[in-house]
Structure 1
């Protein structure tokens, strides 16, 4: 086993680190890492960002958005939680979660957390979820990674994600908060840092021999490039969004009723029609032309709306108001 200490809390760097180890470094022994990140939502490989994310809340609270190469669902994580990563030569040739989840569960049991396997990729305590996992394979190697809730801000988790109520109903559960649990409730004596240190110690104890590998300056340079050009790239993050049509509508006090009919194609606005009972001389066709091709994220849309409204204002309505309607 090779253990790689991770100091970075930059999720783009850390996902790039995983990918670099998987595709370029390619150690002949299994690799383990445990890491944490600043507030982040992580999209699964096949997920639609528009339906999964509360864009207004994410922008207001400066939450990172990243996309994984692995499948599975969208998760929220922060410095109150952590992520585990295993990378190893692919001996089985098939996707299996068993070995990895067993290792993590055994390590947690050693620190008085009675973790158990539940469903296809979850770990639970008393039937409440605290960990989900995902994995993918590349050229003879398997990468398995997962999240752990220790002292995560669950209220922020609820606000940042658009919860799929079909999944909750299928489990007869009223809310995400009811379904999940922070492990700190079982070990209030630990901080997230001491929890990660104890967990790392117990996971490494599951292996006969462990070598520690420190990233070189060359490693870090290559990882930074991967982070910039792939994991932090908005086309990679939002480009998985398929063609979709939807309506956003709200009453803005002092401004009136506003409605947007929006068409998207792979994360870009292809058509946007504004209607309502507001007052102004706005040319809605010109607004559509202005926003066509814009990435469907608040940071891209709001400056264009502001520029447009400088020329043709709407009484009592700002660009920020319209942005909040579009991303509500």
Structure 2
């Protein structure tokens, strides 16, 4: 394993670094990174900003907003916490959090923080969430990145993020504070910098990682990737299309799934959009186009849904569940 130091506090730079390593550098052994950001909200690939983010608060407090290339839910972090990234050569195109979460959990336990894995992609301490994870895949590689809250501004988090009413009802969540906690409660004498350094040393000890470096030319290249792939304006790009039918649910172990669609007088799909905080590498435009023009009948739709999800699964979601949601 290679430990790659990251000094930038710009989330766009750091997401660009992940993307560069996955698609261009393509290392022959796993890469481990720890990094921090200025106050930032990170929107999941398949989410809609207006449903997840309090834009007036984010704008007023100069919080950076960015869309990840991974699925999952929206998170907030700042210099009071840190992010971890694990990039692993991988021939299996399935999303799997187990090995990455196990490593982070082991490192946290090593520094006196008794974290446990919970649900599909979280780490918890005393029943409350301290870390959320997400993944995406490219040809031959898996990227697993996630947040660790040490002394993050929980008030800003609560005001910057919205809780989806469907998830709120399903999980009996009243607020962000109810389900998340800062790790400083476990190590009250540490600063966020101390926590990050302790975690780094634990991870290097466990993995026997060697330290790597980027060249100045590589660093310069990241700026272009950040502009091309992680432009902040794209987060707020308005979707003005009105949908006549909106079906939304929360599925345990899968997340929020929402399908919105329009039908013409012949009862055929004229527009379709799928959003949510699920995990997948699915090309939703391809999926949506596969249904446009098709008759809104379960016998017609079910085989198409099955075919598309076989090619690019949504983690934990069975084709019959998505078909049932459509109807």
Output the TM-score relative to the length of structure 2: 0.72
**Distance of aligned partners of 1:242 and 1:89 in 2 relative to their CA distance in 1, 3 Å threshold:** farther
After TM superposition, give the deviation of residue 242 of structure 1 in Å: 6.9
After TM superposition, give the deviation of residue 41 of structure 1 in Å: 0.5
Distance 1:192 1:233 in 2: 27
Distance 1:168 1:35 in 2: 30
Contact 1:154 1:177 in 2 (8 A): yes
After TM superposition, give the deviation of residue 169 of structure 1 in Å: 2.7
Partner of 1:83: 83
**Distance of aligned partners of 1:240 and 1:138 in 2 relative to their CA distance in 1, 3 Å threshold:** farther
Distance 1:73 1:55 in 2: 16
Judge which range, 88-97 or 32-41, deviates more. 88-97
Q: Deviations over 1:130-189 (max 9, x none)?
A: 100000100111100000111010110011112113323322232210111000011011
Partner of 1:96: 96
Partner of 1:325: none
Distance 1:99 1:242 in 2: 41
Partner of 1:74: 74
1:182-201 equivalence runs, <5 A:
182-201=182-201
Q: Deviations over 1:248-306 (max 9, x none)?
A: xxxxxxxxxxxxxxxxx9xxxxxxxxxxxxxxxxxxxxxxxxxxxxxxxxxxxxxxxxx
**Distance of aligned partners of 1:244 and 1:185 in 2 relative to their CA distance in 1, 3 Å threshold:** farther
Partner of 1:292: none
Q: Deviations over 1:89-139 (max 9, x none)?
A: 114332110000000001000111110000000000111001000001001
Say which SS state the counterpart of residue 33 (structure 1) adopts. strand
Is 1:220 matched up with 2:219?
A: yes
**Distance of aligned partners of 1:15 and 1:35 in 2 relative to their CA distance in 1, 3 Å threshold:** same
Distance 2:95 2:157 in 1: 28
Contact 2:54 2:162 in 1 (8 A): yes
After TM superposition, give the deviation of residue 30 of structure 1 in Å: 0.1
Q: How many residues align?
A: 245
Is 1:234 matched up with 2:204?
A: no
In structure 1, the gaps of 5 or more residues are 246-264, 266-328
Distance 1:53 1:242 in 2: 17
Judge which range, 127-136 or 198-207, deviates more. 198-207
**Distance of aligned partners of 1:197 and 1:62 in 2 relative to their CA distance in 1, 3 Å threshold:** same
Say which SS state the counterpart of residue 85 (structure 1) adopts. strand
Distance 2:239 2:221 in 1: 28
Is 1:52 matched up with 2:61?
A: no
1:283-302 equivalence runs, <5 A:
none
Partner of 1:2: 2
Q: Deviations over 1:48-70 (max 9, x none)?
A: 01111111101100000000000
Output the TM-score relative to the length of structure 1: 0.72
**Distance of aligned partners of 1:113 and 1:242 in 2 relative to their CA distance in 1, 3 Å threshold:** farther
Partner of 2:171: 171
In structure 2, the gaps of 5 or more residues are 244-270, 272-327
Partner of 1:243: 241
**Distance of aligned partners of 1:126 and 1:241 in 2 relative to their CA distance in 1, 3 Å threshold:** farther
Contact 1:46 1:240 in 2 (8 A): no
**Distance of aligned partners of 1:240 and 1:101 in 2 relative to their CA distance in 1, 3 Å threshold:** farther
Say which SS state the counterpart of residue 136 (structure 1) adopts. strand
What root-mean-square deviation, in Å, do the aligned CA atoms of Structure 1 and Structure 2 show? 1.8
**Distance of aligned partners of 1:125 and 1:61 in 2 relative to their CA distance in 1, 3 Å threshold:** same
Contact 2:65 2:232 in 1 (8 A): no
Q: Deviations over 1:2-43 (max 9, x none)?
A: 110000001110110111111111110000000000001000
**Distance of aligned partners of 1:70 and 1:242 in 2 relative to their CA distance in 1, 3 Å threshold:** farther
Say which SS state the counterpart of residue 169 (structure 1) adopts. helix
**Structure with larger Rg:** 1
Contact 1:6 1:35 in 2 (8 A): yes
**Distance of aligned partners of 1:61 and 1:110 in 2 relative to their CA distance in 1, 3 Å threshold:** same
